[in-house]
Chains A and B, each alone.
Chain A
């Protein structure tokens, strides 16, 4: 790992990168909250600010509407709502952040699942006047289902309830009750006003009964992905490098990203599907030879023995191997307009591997508003359900809750080439 970059004039301890998700409806003030985070962390540049000032004036608003910062596409600007996941960036000098901004409407469950899939923390907005709503439960369920390890409930619009501690405590209790039923264990609560900026980046002086961290302080301290537990080594092979030049005549490099765990030179590894074991001879990154590679590093592995390996194979730790299986049970979020029914054949892409998959059975559909299971039937767009697939080729899988990279897959419609489903192996 190289030393963090030093920016002259900025004291810099590179705490890497955090991807987080914000969810809530238009009325919860989500766009205002993101605007506030960007604005108070000085991440908004003058010309962008001038543009939203002009728009605010044109719309007859008294103050600058920070929510305009996150309005992306022309169609959305016309409608004044967010219809697709948008990504925003800011840096505090110690950490880089990628915000996935997911819209809250029911019909856009697919967008939230998409945004959640790469997030390590979710900020769930609750309107202090309304408390825990159906959509709060829906957002929490999805965040939990998609395996976001840390949830932050931001009780927004505290200014509209007189900054009342009682209002905040009532919401906290109500949330904890239903969260326990879902198995959500890591959740934190912050009272805030995105509009006035209280407890977002600055503490403000209207919430003096609250002694916890601001939202920004929580983000700064939140654990990065892969940092909290020892994970088994998983290396799906993306590409095989065999230059066959005079200089590199016998070079065979297996290129990919360490999806979980870490690997050191000399470690014993197993190759799937062949089952052959060998050792790591070298870990390369261009002309550097690394002693080890951590999770999420893209590297080239050289092995001690000649093993026949191609794209779609997986190099793993022999002490803890994934299941090799042609039968997969998964929670699936259906993303396409045509409903999914049992008997349908689809293309399933898992890590760097692709196989045909048959929908053998739809066990149940999850009602994500009432959090009930409805047995059988079919999955319409935005539905989430439990499905059993039969596979034409074996996959090397872990349970999604144990490993997000080797537990996830997408479904592709071979006729249209569209991505039509997202699956999490149980």
Chain B
């Protein structure tokens, strides 16, 4: 028995933190492949799913990925991101499936309340339709627990019922690294290999692995207006409102999503090193700074997940 307050002997250094996170994520990807018969990996061209693709290479090369890639396209994307998405899938030689929210709108399964509104939450409908179309039994996503409070309690293997719903009060217990991906037909598992990563871990990994990113992640000059404390980039979908002053300033995106609800941050960081330095010193969470839709309610993510959002 130790005397009170005796310090430990100096810790032996095992894997560094990125090695550990990488190994965990690879293990999760291989469990999905080993346990599920028809998985899919959600790839948006964003930084988190770019990490997922590198992890999938580490998990399965020299073989092909045991799953296709799926992008649920809101139609509200920056063209740089879409071009990047297509190029990256082609470089990897993997199959990319694209399903569009606009197709759901044509089918009448998505009805917009106003023409220019954010299609972020409508992605759930299109995603569920794609899951049904291809009978996917698992979707691999790049969500992280540090993004949002509801995610902090979600499992690495998160069970969704036939309606795609997440029931936070009835989650499968998840112990050790023994994952349970069993489903009945119609149900599916959402697997989150980088759950335990923070935004800083993602940037450090991108730097270490020298991963290519869409250009809008780096500082560039862009016309914006200031609205409700956030920077709103001016695009055809997001024109200036009366009385707003248009500024041309240097910005970068910390996250890329629906144009109408994704805001850049003011930044001069035009290299990964500078972005990492800024992230390490940042005083605002990724979603707080950049997701206009999450500002509406503290619980908005939890609500979306219950409706089938990833």
Contacts of B280 in A (CB 8 A): 7, 9-10
Contacts of A248 in B (CB 8 A): 62
Give the shortest distance, in Å, between A135 (CB) and chain B (any CB). 20
Provide the bound-state CA to CA distance between A229 and B36, in Å: 35
Closest to A410 in B: B178
Question: Does B236 count as interface, using CB distance less than 8 angstroms?
Answer: no
Contacts of A15 in B (CB 8 A): 11, 13
Question: Does A217 count as interface, using CB distance less than 8 angstroms?
Answer: yes
Interface residues on A, range: 35 or more
Which residues, 53 to 67 on B, are CB-close (under 8 Å) to A?
57-64, 66
Give the shortest distance, in Å, between A315 (CB) and chain B (any CB). 15
Give the shortest distance, in Å, between A340 (CB) and chain B (any CB). 14
Q: Which of B7, B66, B169 has the most CB of A within 10 A?
A: B7
Which residues, 1 to 39 on B, are CB-close (under 8 Å) to A?
1-2, 4-24, 26-27, 30-31, 33-34
Question: Does B276 count as interface, using CB distance less than 8 angstroms?
Answer: yes
- A412 and B5 contact, Cβ closer than 8 Å, known pairs A114-B175, A296-B14: no
Q: How many residues of B contact A (CB 8 A)?
A: 82
Whether B172 contacts A74 by the Cβ 8 Å rule is no
- Digit string of B180-214 for contact with A (CB within 8 Å is 1, else 0)? 10111000000000011010110010011000000
Closest to A115 in B: B175
- Our pick among B20, B176, B299, B303 for the contact of A17 (Cβ within 8 Å) is B20
- Digit string of B61-87 for contact with A (CB within 8 Å is 1, else 0)? 111101000000000000000000000
Whether B168 contacts A46 by the Cβ 8 Å rule is no
- A187 and B184 contact, Cβ closer than 8 Å, known pairs A71-B149, A247-B62, A298-B58: no
Which residues, 164 to 179 on B, are CB-close (under 8 Å) to A?
168-169, 171-178
Which residues, 100 to 116 on B, are CB-close (under 8 Å) to A?
none
Provide the bound-state CA to CA distance between A210 and B204, in Å: 39
Question: Does A211 count as interface, using CB distance less than 8 angstroms?
Answer: yes
- Digit string of A371-410 for contact with B (CB within 8 Å is 1, else 0)? 0000000000000000000000000000000001100111
- Our pick among A150, A210, A296 for the contact of B23 (Cβ within 8 Å) is A296
Stretch at the interface among A21-29, A318-326, A415-423: A415-423
Contacts of B21 in A (CB 8 A): 17
Whether A412 contacts B182 by the Cβ 8 Å rule is yes
Provide the bound-state CA to CA distance between A83 and B177, in Å: 22
Whether A410 contacts B16 by the Cβ 8 Å rule is no
Give the shortest distance, in Å, between A254 (CB) and chain B (any CB). 11
Provide the bound-state CA to CA distance between A266 and B80, in Å: 47
Which residues, 276 to 291 on B, are CB-close (under 8 Å) to A?
276-277, 280-285, 288-289
Which residues, 146 to 184 on A, are CB-close (under 8 Å) to B?
150, 172, 176, 180
Whether A87 contacts B196 by the Cβ 8 Å rule is yes
Closest to A248 in B: B62
Give the shortest distance, in Å, between A391 (CB) and chain B (any CB). 16
Give the shortest distance, in Å, between B187 (CB) and chain A (any CB). 8
- A118 and B62 contact, Cβ closer than 8 Å, known pairs A16-B14, A47-B284, A218-B7: no
Provide the bound-state CA to CA distance between A310 and B100, in Å: 39
Question: Does A295 count as interface, using CB distance less than 8 angstroms?
Answer: yes
Whether B152 contacts A296 by the Cβ 8 Å rule is no
Whether A91 contacts B277 by the Cβ 8 Å rule is no
Whether B4 contacts A212 by the Cβ 8 Å rule is yes
Whether A298 contacts B178 by the Cβ 8 Å rule is no
- Our pick among A213, A294, A349 for the contact of B180 (Cβ within 8 Å) is A349
Which residues, 275 to 295 on A, are CB-close (under 8 Å) to B?
285-287, 294-295
Closest to B148 in A: A72
- Digit string of A202-224 for contact with B (CB within 8 Å is 1, else 0)? 00000000111100011011111
Question: Does A273 count as interface, using CB distance less than 8 angstroms?
Answer: no
Provide the bound-state CA to CA distance between A4 and B201, in Å: 12
Q: List 15 A-B contacts (CB under 8 A).
A: A1-B19, A2-B19, A9-B277, A9-B281, A17-B17, A46-B284, A91-B198, A118-B175, A172-B4, A188-B6, A211-B5, A238-B27, A238-B31, A257-B27, A287-B61
Residues of chain B whose beta carbon lies under 8 Å from any beta carbon of chain A: 1-2, 4-24, 26-27, 30-31, 33-34, 57-64, 66, 145-146, 149-150, 152-153, 168-169, 171-178, 180, 182-184, 195-196, 198, 200-201, 204, 207-208, 273-274, 276-277, 280-285, 288-289, 298-299, 302-303
